Amino acid sequence: METTIYNTQGKSTGKISLPESVFGLPWNSDLVHEVVRLMNSNSRNAIANVKTRGEVRGGGKKPWKQKGTGRARHGSSRSPIWVGGGIAHGPRADKNFDRKINKKARTKALYTILSRKMKDGEILFIDSLNITAPKTKDAVAVIKSLSTIKGFDRLVTKKVNTAIIAVDKKADAVTKSFNNIGNISLEEFRNINPVSVLNHTYLIVTNPAESLKSLIASAKPAKIKPAKVEKAKVAKVTKTKTK
């Protein structure tokens, strides 16, 4: 499949061929949901923490004797059923939210999301940004020029997470120029993931020939040599004569 490459003025400069195995996959909602859920769980920080009955100060003295008072027996006033006592089954900061994500599943989910965004016309390929000095004015001018391309008019809106710009290699001038634009994120293409792509409306890829090189290489199916099957050795059984 082919798509158009634009420059920072919003004009077409050529075509680029894209692999079907990356940008032509059918939508798989179950896979995407599972990978995004696991990634969000891995990025979660356990902050909420409550004290158990053993961590609440006090409560060392038995409130009253075990028998003879007519009241229920208690051993500590810091029991969870007492006011001011510890909390049972509450959130703990030492809880582990890490979940394992299969590498193939994560890669397939990213390709599925890229395919969907490509189908919806939300991926834009540009040759280069051509920003040599850190100036926010130049970055805003680039965004305005790209918004003139059909289907990318929402680039100029102030909606949060409007676009993520994936560059082949970060440069200080480009990074500093886009830092002051709140709805635009800048990331190296090799670091994009399913969550970052889904959280933004548009994906802008700069220098696609270099940016897609590693992605296209990883999309090629690896040749697997058939395993050698050894013939099972059958032990000879000798019959013994019984008297």
Q: What residue ranges do the domains of the chain occupy?
A: 2-26+97-218, 45-95
Whether residue 135 contacts residue 177, with contact meaning beta carbons closer than 8 Å, is answered with: yes
Beta sheet of 184-188, edge-to-edge order: 12-17, 2-6, 123-126, 202-206, 163-167, 184-188
Please tell me whether the overall predicted TM-score, pTM, comes out greater than 0.85 for this model. Answer: no
- Give the pLDDT confidence of 34-82 residue by residue, as tens digits: 999 999 999 999 899 999 999 999 999 999 999 999 999 999 999 999 9
Q: Which amino acid is at 136?
A: T
Whether residue 111 contacts residue 22, with contact meaning beta carbons closer than 8 Å, is answered with: yes
pLDDT of residue 216: 64
- Token readout for 149 is 């391309």
Which CATH class for the 2-26+97-218 domain? Answer: alpha beta
pLDDT of residue 223: 42
Q: How far apart are CA 113 and CA 24, in angstroms?
A: 10
pLDDT of residue 219: 54
Q: Which residues of the chain have pLDDT under 50?
A: 221-235, 237, 243
Cα separation values, 80 from 66, 83, 95, Å = 19, 8, 20
